């Protein structure tokens, strides 16, 4: 399983970084129009258990809603405006369900990195539901479709995803390479470690890759940082700057 790595090197963060309202289908469309073939997005659960895209626990920053998103059913969430906060051109853009972005990706032969971003307190449930829904959606995929890569900062979410759908590849997200990071990734059966880009150096990249793990970085928005990571031999970069970096480089 850890030898399996079909993914592109460049990954568009939250769809198209800051160029469109994050985690919306409009952002995915814009990222794809820049040639990107893999997308990262943040997924949590509505009150009635529907996985949908939102970075924060609350709605306030990126929609016209207020308060904890996890307290509303999907029917209510789906009527919010998740575009006007960004710019008038995106007024009325709705929140995206995981199902809608999965269908967009499958229809266009794009890969998806689903960051499991649980509302605090629902780590295991979110990991279980996201893995089960992703597995169902990709069951209908063409046989050559790239499976969704599930990642999380929360080991409990990755453990639950593994218990629910062990065949879906997982990645451990980290802010920093603290003591025990490699052991944690291996214990969780991950195929990759995704860390804040400034943390990687020759020693840590070698440690991960020697253990059979891919090395990815977030969020890389300038050329010197990207050049450093490719020179280190890392395997993938998550970027906001779909307008700056060519996805084929």
| DSSP classification of residue 122 | -
Residue from the set 21, 25, 42, 168 that interacts with ligand G3P by CB under 6 A: 42
Of 91 and 178, which has the nearer Cβ to ligand G3P? Answer: 178
Do 228 and 217 form a contact (C-beta atoms < 8 A)?
no
Q: What is the Cα–Cα distance from 7 to 3, expressed in whole angstroms?
A: 12
The burial class, CB within 10 Å (0-12 / 13-18 / 19+), for 211 is middle
Per-residue mark of binding to ligand G3P, 71-100 (x: CB under 6 A)? ------------------------------
Q: What is the Cα–Cα distance from 166 to 159, expressed in whole angstroms?
A: 9
Considering CB distances under 5 to 8 angstroms, the limit depending on partner class, which of ligand G3P, Mg ion, none binds residue 218? ligand G3P
CB of 115 to Mg ion, least distance (A): 4
Of 30 and 216, which has the nearer Cβ to Mg ion? Answer: 216
CB of 11 to ligand G3P, least distance (A): 8
Closest C-alpha to 116, from 99, 101, 131, 133: 131
Q: Which residues touch 111 (CB under 8 Å, ≥6 apart)?
A: 6, 7, 8, 37, 38, 39, 105, 146, 148, 149
Using CB under 5 A, which residues numbered 25 to 54 contact Mg ion?
42
Residue from the set 54, 94, 98, 115 that interacts with ligand G3P by CB under 6 A: 115
Q: Which residues touch 103 (CB under 8 Å, ≥6 apart)?
A: 137
Using CB under 5 A, which residues numbered 180 to 239 contact Mg ion?
none
The burial class, CB within 10 Å (0-12 / 13-18 / 19+), for 74 is middle
CB of 213 to ligand G3P, least distance (A): 16
Site size toward Mg ion (CB under 5 A) is 2
Residues of this chain that bind Mg ion (CB under 5 A): 42, 115
What residues are labeled active site?
13, 55
Residues of this chain that bind ligand G3P (CB under 6 A): 13, 40, 42, 55, 115, 151, 173, 194, 218, 238
């Amino acid at each position: 399983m850890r030898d399996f790595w079909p993914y592109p090197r460049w990954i568009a963060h939250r769809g198209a970084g800051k160029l469109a309202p994050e985690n919306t289908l409009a952002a995915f469309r814009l990222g794809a129009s820049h040639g990107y073939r893999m997308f990262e997005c943040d997924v949590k659960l509505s009150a009635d258990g529907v996985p949908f895209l939102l970075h924060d626990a609350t709605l306030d920053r990126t929609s016209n809603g207020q308060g904890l998103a996890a307290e509303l059913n999907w029917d209510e969430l789906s009527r919010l405006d998740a575009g006007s906060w960004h710019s008038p051109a995106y007024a009325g853009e709705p929140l995206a369900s995981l199902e809608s972005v999965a269908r967009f990706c499958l229809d266009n032969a794009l890969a998806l990195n689903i960051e499991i971003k649980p509302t605090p307190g629902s780590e295991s449930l979110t990991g279980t539901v996201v893995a089960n829904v992703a597995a169902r959606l990709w069951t209908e995929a063409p046989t050559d479709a790239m499976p969704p890569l599930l990642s999380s900062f929360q080991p409990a979410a990755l453990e639950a995803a593994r218990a629910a759908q062990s065949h879906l590849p997982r990645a451990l997200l980290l802010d920093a390479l603290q003591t025990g990071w490699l052991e944690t990734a291996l214990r969780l059966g991950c195929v990759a470690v995704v860390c804040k880009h400034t943390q990687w150096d020759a020693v840590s990249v070698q440690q991960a890759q020697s253990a059979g793990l891919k090395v990815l970085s977030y969020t890389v928005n300038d050329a010197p940082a990207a050049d450093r990571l490719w020179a280190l031999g890392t395997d993938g970069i998550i970027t906001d700057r779909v307008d700056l970096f060519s996805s084929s480089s």
